[in-house]
Amino acid sequence: MTSDASSRKVALVVGGSRGIGRAIVVRLARSGFDIWCTYRGNHEAAEEVRKEVETLGVSCDLIPFDVSDYEAVRAALAPRVEETSPYALVYNAGITRDNLLMWMSPDEWNAVLRTNLDGFFNVTRAVLFSMLKARKGRIVAISSASGQLGQAGQVNYAASKAGLIGAARSLAREVGKKNIVVNVVAPGFIETELTHEIPAEKVLPLVPLNRLGRAEDVASLVNFLCTEEHLYIHGQTIGVNGGLAV
Ligand code: NDP
């Protein structure tokens, strides 16, 4: 990508301060994107990302808000998108509140659905009009193998991640003609804080590549979907799972 400031592209990475989101931010910054990195409340982690991104010669705006709060999302993003339309939107924010459905509380159900699925609506709703006006862009939603396969103890999480797949497919049908390409990336077991309590010896027998994934494995595909010029992949869900779901 060119370094001319007037033609630089912005990537909005939602939940970009830690784990997979951070790797996505760094990968897109390496590709030359200026970054808008959102997060909820861990300012220290976000500042670290900003420092790393700035060493790569692009800018990094930190934008804290709770994705589940429609008004807060709008207030944070609406003034920005009036000035600049992001070229890429990566919806990566996600949480788990695992429990068997038998014991799952309404709070556990609601927290996960509000963050993982409502958040996608709230953020995309806030920026889509500017992308449609620009008549170009890439949207990538980070789902999960749990949303494709189901997972005991994750009825809430799997529902939210399967919901993202349906939402992104439908959005792809709405905005494809406007040159906005929409896809879903569905990671399997990736080494992050979200998964550090899962014992590797239980997981590895299920993974033909015989290793856990790395955040960079996910970031590399997201980067491809956001930068590749010759892209005819649209409305698809692509697994990054070492063969877990083949
Ligand atoms: P992390 O917990 O490491 O990071 C989550 C990011 O989302 C942080 O930036 C966090 O900000 C932000 N975030 C969480 N909740 C909110 C909220 N309500 N409002 C705004 N921002 C929020 O997650 P991972 O890197 O492990 O996972 C990233 C994505 O990948 C998630 O969607 C997850 O479901 C998915 N995934 C992960 C897998 C894995 O193995 N790790 C496997 C499959 C999918 P802050 O730090 O400020 O709270």
Question: Residues 103-119: pLDDT tens digits?
Answer: 999 999 999 999 999 99
Whether pTM exceeds 0.95: yes
State the pLDDT at residue 106: 98
Helix segments in 114-194, DSSP class H:
119-134, 145-149, 155-175
Strands 137-142 and 10-14: unpaired
Task: Give nearest CA residue, ligand 1 atom 26.
Answer: 194
> For 66-77, how does the pLDDT look when each residue is reduced to its tens digit (9 = 90+)?
999 999 999 999
Percent of the chain whose pLDDT exceeds 90: 91
Ligand 1 touching residue 183 (CB < 6 A): no
Q: How far is the CA of 6 from the centre of ligand 1 (A)?
A: 32
Eight-class DSSP state of 187: E
Q: What is the CATH number of domain 10-240?
A: 3.40.50.720
Largest CA distance in the chain: 56
Residue 70 annotated among the catalytic residues of the structure: no
Q: How far is the CA of 113 from the centre of ligand 1 (A)?
A: 13
Q: How far is the CA of 194 from the centre of ligand 1 (A)?
A: 8
Q: Return the best residue to mutate from 90, 142, 194, 217 for the ligand 1 pocket (most ligand atoms within 8 A of CB).
A: 194
For the chain, domain boundaries: 10-240
